[in-house]
Amino acid sequence: MTNENNTENLNIYLRDLERKNANLEKELEKEQNEKIIVIQEKKKLETGFRIDGKNSWLWVFTSTMASYYKVAPTRGHTVP
């Protein structure tokens, strides 16, 4: 192969890499934007809550579609 052919092959390879990189950047940006939207739509609230004189925690998760309430015995309790 001549230097001219090598240079042309390298240029083709570099253009292909640039195209793939641009496509990947678009996919990652779309995925990131979708995650940001999900985070913005969900809200979490926790507050102390008493049941029969015992301290508990009330967790509230809300979105534009629904709300989920969970009373937990401790603040560190696993909440889905």
On whether the CB atoms of residues 70 and 47 are closer than 8 A, the answer is: no
Write down the pLDDT at residue 38. Answer: 61
DSSP strands (E only) in the chain: 43-51, 54-62, 67-72
**What is the tens place of the pLDDT at every residue in 8-65?**
888 898 999 999 988 888 888 887 777 666 655 566 777 887 888 888 888 888 777 7
Please state the pTM of the whole predicted model. Answer: 0.39
Domain residue ranges of the chain, discontinuous segments joined by +: 1-41, 42-80
Q: Which residue has the higher pLDDT, 79 or 30?
A: 30
Furthest CA-CA distance within the chain:
87
Q: Give the Cβ contact number of residue 51 at 10 Å.
A: 10
Write down the pLDDT at residue 18. Answer: 92
Does residue 70 carry a pLDDT above 60? yes
Q: Count helices and strands (H / E) in the chain.
A: 1, 3
* Residue type for position 44: K
